[in-house]
Amino acid sequence: MGLTKEQMAKRIARELRDGYYVNLGIGIPTLVANYIPEGMNVVLQSENGILGMGPFPYEGEEDADLINAGKQTVTLLPGSSIFDSATSFAMIRGQHVQLTVLGAMEVSDNGDIANWKIPGKMVKGMGGAMDLVASADNIIVCMMHANKAGESKLLKQCSLPLTGVGCVKKVVTDLGVFDITPDGFKLLERAPGVSVEEIKAKTEGRLAVQGEIPEMVV
C-alpha cells in the first residue's frame, strides 16, 4: 500500500526540532507545516522573502503582495519578517536554515539529486533548489518511491541533469525512510504493510538492510 502524501508529511514532521528554521519545498513538503507538533516552535522560511510564514488566508483576505515561493497566497504570523531575495539566500547559503525538505525526480545512493529538468520535455528551471541543496546541512527528500511508469526513483546514478551532488542526507518515500550512507540507501523504517522484499524490488540503487526493520508508526 504505502503511505499517503499526508502520512509522508506527518512522518517528516517528526524530524522537526524546537527552534528550527525550516524551508519547505513545493508539493508534499508544504504539507509538513500541517503536522508541526503542538507547542513546538518552528519558523517557516519561504525563499521569496518570508520568515514566519503562516497558513493560507481566510477567503476574502488574500493579499496579492503576500505569497510564498509556490506563488500561493499566504499569511504572516506574529514575529514574522520580510526581506529581499539576496538576504533570503544569505540565510540559505549561510546555513542559518536548519532543515530543508524538498521533492525530487531522482536521488542516487550517494546523495545526488535531480529535480529541475527533463531534457527535451520539461524545462521549468531550478528556482532556489540548487542553492538550497548545495548549502543546507540537513536535507530531506520527500518523494514517491517509483515514478508514474513504475520505475524506481532511488537509483545507483541519476539519469537526469543534477540539481546537486552528494547532498541528500535522508529520503522519505511512500514505502520507507532511508539515510544516505557510504553503503547506499540505509533502510530505517518501512511503511505499514510494506515488506523489506518489496522495498528491495523497487530500489534500483544500493540498499543497505541491517537486522529487523521496524514498521513506521503513523
Partner 1 sequence: MNKVVAGPDAALDGLQDNMTLMVGGFGLCGIPENLIAALVRRGTKGLTCISNNAGVDDFGLGLLLKTRQIRKMISSYVGENDEFERQMLSGELEVELIPQGSLAERCRAGGAGIPAFFTPAGYGTEVGEGKEAREFNGKMHVLESWLRADFALVKAWKGDRFGNLVYKRTARNFNPMMAMAGKITIAEVEQLVEPGELDPDLIHTPGIFVQRIFQGSAYEKRIEQRTVRKRA
Contact positions vs partner 1 (CB under 8 A): 46-50, 55-59, 61-74, 76, 82-86, 88-89, 92-93, 112, 117, 123-131, 134-135, 161-166
CB of 110 to partner 1, least distance (A): 11
CB 139 within 8 A of CB 109: no
Write the CA distances from 134 to 44, 89, 98, integer angstroms: 19, 12, 13
Phi, psi of 150 (to 5 degrees): 85, 5
Residue 116 or 185 having the CB closest to partner 1: 116
CB of 78 to partner 1, least distance (A): 15
The total number of residues written for the chain in this structure: 218
Burial 122-149 (b: 16+ CB within 10 A, else e): eeeeebbbbbbbebbebbbbbbbbbeee
Grid coordinates belonging to 28: 508534499
- 198 is an active site residue: no
Residue 73 or 196 having the CB closest to partner 1: 73
CB of 139 to partner 1, least distance (A): 13
CB of 63 to partner 1, least distance (A): 7
Query: Which of the following is catalytic: 15, 38, 47, 151?
Result: 47
Grid coordinates belonging to 72: 500561493
Nearest to 44 by CA among 98, 86, 116, 102: 98
Residue 118 or 201 having the CB closest to partner 1: 118
Number of Cβ within 10 Å of residue 89's Cβ equals 15
Residue 2 or 111 having the CB closest to partner 1: 111
Which amino acid type is present at position 45?
A: Q
Would you name the residues annotated as active-site residues? 47
